[in-house]
Amino acid sequence: LSSLPSTAKEAQSLYGGGVDILMNNGGVSTRSMARNSNFDVDKFVTNVNYLSYVALTKALLPSWENDPDKREHIIINTSSVAGKIGAPVRTAYSGAKFAIMGWFDAFRIEQVLLGYPIHVLNVALGSTQTNVARNSITTSPDETFGSTDTNIESGLDPNFAVERILAAAYAKQDELWIAPKKEMLLMYLNQYIPETSKKILIKAVAKTFAVEKKDNVEGEGRDNEL
């Protein structure tokens, strides 16, 4: 995080006219229940997924606010469906993605009140065909999940997602939901019938929970035998 302000300055000097668009797209996911992952996971994910966005924004903000030409500037933040719905087994990831939404929603209003032409687009992105699952961390920042899952494999084409995001930024939308159909339906249910979406989530992760619970019980039994 400490290196990001100097990185922002390098970008500004590289482009003589300064930086007009900031795309905050850094991210690492998790694949472990909160009880099984150590606190370093929460700190690591929060730094990468949330605080890096804030650090880069604050590094660029003075030059944007003092721009003599009063040009419009755009911030695009890649959040997640998990930033709109609490996602089990992705607890730290979900928390950081919620933080993005909250911080930048408040920041957007502040800029309007101050009269600066800075537009903020928050993107609730669903499963996309990337290595996000494979590179997810589990019980510690050094342990990776190492495999993908069916939701990612059948997820959005990254090129399609980029086109939609750029179109939304051009249209000056505040928020964009873009996800496969089932995930979009879940977001709408969560907004209007939250109890129903909770039941669906519980059912979806019940099998994973049962496996983890069994492993924990067996492990405790082995420890007792020793």
Ramachandran angles phi, psi of 41, nearest 5°: -65, -45
Q: Which of 157, 28, 163 is nearest to 97 (CA)?
A: 28
CATH class of 4-184: alpha beta
* Residue 222 predicted with pLDDT over 90: no
Q: Which of 51, 47, 177, 62 is nearest to 118 (CA)?
A: 62
User: Are 128 and 152 within 8 A, CB to CB?
Assistant: yes
Q: Please give the C-alpha separations between residue 5 and each of 116, 118, 192, in angstroms, as whole numbers.
A: 21, 19, 40
Domain ranges of the chain: 4-184
Q: Which of 145, 133, 146, 138 is nearest to 38 (CA)?
A: 138
Structure tokens at 69: 């030409």
pLDDT digits (tens, 9 = 90+) for 15-73: 776 889 999 998 999 999 999 999 999 999 999 999 999 999 999 999 999 888 888 99
The residues annotated as belonging to the active site are 93
pLDDT on residue 207: 63
Q: Residues, the chain, total?
A: 226
Please state the pTM of the whole predicted model.
0.86
